[in-house]
Amino acid sequence: MTIMQHTAVGSDPQAIYNRIQQREIEQLAQIAIQQKMAPIHTLAALDLLQNEIQIFLGQNWLSLFIADNREVNYSLLFQSNSKAKTSKNESRSCKDTFFKECILSAEPILFRASEILKADKSFPASFVHVIQEGNKAIVSKAFRVHDHYWAILSLGYKRLEHIDPRLEYRIKNFIPQLGISIGNILMHERSAHAALTNMPSSPAQPQGFLQNEGYGKKSEASEPQMIGESDLIQAIKSQLKMVALSEMNLLIQGESGTGKEVATQIIHHFSLRSARPLIKVNCAAIAPTLIESELFGHEKGSFSGAVKRKIGKFEQAHGGTLFLDEIGDLPLTLQAKLLRVLQEKEIERVGGNKNIPIDVRIICATHKDLQAEVKAGNFRSDLYYRISAFPITLPSLRERREDIPHLIQHFLLKHAGENPPKQMSKKVLQRLHLHSWPGNIRELEHVIARSILLTEDSTIKKIALLPDADFVGESKVPDFRLQTLANFEKEYILWVLHNCKARISGPNGAATILGIPATTLQSKMKKLGIGKKFSYSKE
Ligand X SMILES: Nc1ncnc2c1ncn2[C@@H]1O[C@H](COP(=O)(O)OP(=O)(O)OP(=O)(O)O)[C@@H](O)[C@H]1O
* Pure H helices in 399-480: 404-414, 426-434, 440-454
Question: Which residue lies nearer to ligand X by CB, 82 or 256?
Answer: 256
Subset of residues 309 to 328 that bind ligand X, contact rule: CB under 6 A: 325
Question: Which residue lies nearer to ligand X by CB, 260 or 422?
Answer: 260
Q: Cα dihedral sign for 152, 217, 439, 537?
A: negative
Burial 372-408 (b: 16+ CB within 10 A, else e): ebbeeebbbeebbebbbeeebebbbbebbeebbebbb
Task: Give the interface segment with ligand X, choosing from 153-161, 225-233, 296-304, 494-502 (CB under 6 A).
Answer: 225-233
> How do strand 423-424 and strand 297-298 relate by DSSP bridges?
unpaired
Q: Cα dihedral sign for 94, 99, 101, 105?
A: negative
- CA dist., res. 326 & res. 379, Å (int): 12
Question: Which residue lies nearer to ligand X by CB, 68 or 445?
Answer: 445
Minimal distance in Å, beta carbon 284 to ligand X? 9
Please report how the helices 404-414 and 426-434 are oriented relative to each other, as an axis angle in degrees rounded to 10: 120
Residue 95 host element (H or E):
none
* Pure H helices in 38-164: 43-48, 50-57, 97-104, 113-118, 125-132
Question: Which residue lies nearer to ligand X by CB, 229 or 294?
Answer: 229
Residue 537 host element (H or E):
none
Binding mask 396-415 for ligand X (x = CB under 6 A): --------------x-----
Minimal distance in Å, beta carbon 226 to ligand X? 4
DSSP 379: S
Report the residue from 66, 171, 226, 511 that binds ligand X according to the rule CB under 6 A.
226
Under the binding rule (CB under 6 A), the answer on residue 284 touching ligand X is: no
Question: Which residue lies nearer to ligand X by CB, 86 or 197?
Answer: 197
CA distances from 522 to 14, 507, 511, 519, 527 (A): 83, 16, 9, 5, 9
Under the binding rule (CB under 6 A), the answer on residue 227 touching ligand X is: yes
When CB distances to ligand X are compared, the closest residue is: 259
The amino acid that residue 498 corresponds to is H
Question: Which residue lies nearer to ligand X by CB, 124 or 259?
Answer: 259
Question: Which residue lies nearer to ligand X by CB, 66 or 365?
Answer: 365
Question: Which residue lies nearer to ligand X by CB, 324 or 383?
Answer: 324
Q: Cβ contacts of residue 93 below 8 Å, gap of 6+?
A: 72, 73, 99
Report the residue from 124, 183, 228, 509 that binds ligand X according to the rule CB under 6 A.
228
Minimal distance in Å, beta carbon 162 to ligand X? 51
- Strand, helix or coil at 60? coil
Question: Which residue lies nearer to ligand X by CB, 259 or 320?
Answer: 259
Minimal distance in Å, beta carbon 478 to ligand X? 24
Under the binding rule (CB under 6 A), the answer on residue 450 touching ligand X is: no
Report the residue from 112, 386, 442, 503 that binds ligand X according to the rule CB under 6 A.
442
Task: Give the interface segment with ligand X, choosing from 92-100, 148-156, 169-177, 439-447 (CB under 6 A).
Answer: 439-447
Report the residue from 62, 441, 452, 463 that binds ligand X according to the rule CB under 6 A.
441
Task: Give the interface segment with ligand X, choosing from 56-64, 67-75, 255-263, 334-342 (CB under 6 A).
Answer: 255-263
Task: Give the interface segment with ligand X, choosing from 220-228, 307-315, 383-391, 484-492 (CB under 6 A).
Answer: 220-228
Report the residue from 183, 216, 254, 312 that binds ligand X according to the rule CB under 6 A.
254
Q: Are 113 and 162 in contact (CB under 8 A)?
A: no
Question: Which residue lies nearer to ligand X by CB, 10 or 200?
Answer: 200
Subset of residues 365 to 394 that bind ligand X, contact rule: CB under 6 A: 365, 367
Burial 185-205 (b: 16+ CB within 10 A, else e): bbbebbeebbbbbbbeeeeee
Under the binding rule (CB under 6 A), the answer on residue 199 touching ligand X is: no
Task: Give the interface segment with ligand X, choosing from 11-19, 298-306, 438-446, 475-483 (CB under 6 A).
Answer: 438-446
**HSE of 355 in the Cβ direction (CA atoms, 13 Å)?**
8
Task: Give the interface segment with ligand X, choosing from 64-72, 114-122, 440-448, 455-463 (CB under 6 A).
Answer: 440-448
10 Å Cβ neighbour count for 234? Answer: 16
Question: Which residue lies nearer to ligand X by CB, 173 or 258?
Answer: 258
10 Å Cβ neighbour count for 519? Answer: 11
Under the binding rule (CB under 6 A), the answer on residue 262 touching ligand X is: yes
- CA dist., res. 432 & res. 267, Å (int): 30
The number of residues that bind ligand X (CB under 6 A) is: 19
- CA dist., res. 346 & res. 360, Å (int): 10
Report the residue from 189, 294, 373, 445 that binds ligand X according to the rule CB under 6 A.
445
Task: Give the interface segment with ligand X, choosing from 2-10, 221-229, 370-378, 521-529 (CB under 6 A).
Answer: 221-229
Under the binding rule (CB under 6 A), the answer on residue 256 touching ligand X is: yes
Q: Cα dihedral sign for 372, 374, 379, 384?
A: positive
- CA dist., res. 511 & res. 509, Å (int): 6
Closest CA to 422 of 462, 458, 463: 458
Under the binding rule (CB under 6 A), the answer on residue 260 touching ligand X is: yes
Under the binding rule (CB under 6 A), the answer on residue 261 touching ligand X is: yes
10 Å Cβ neighbour count for 18? Answer: 12
Minimal distance in Å, beta carbon 265 to ligand X? 8
Closest CA to 186 of 204, 212, 225: 212
Under the binding rule (CB under 6 A), the answer on residue 281 touching ligand X is: no
Under the binding rule (CB under 6 A), the answer on residue 338 touching ligand X is: no
Task: Give the interface segment with ligand X, choosing from 8-16, 77-85, 223-231, 269-277 (CB under 6 A).
Answer: 223-231
Under the binding rule (CB under 6 A), the answer on residue 395 touching ligand X is: no
CA distances from 163 to 116, 121, 124, 390 (A): 17, 22, 21, 50
Q: What are the residues binding ligand X (CB under 6 A)?
A: 225-228, 254, 256-262, 325, 365, 367, 410, 441-442, 445
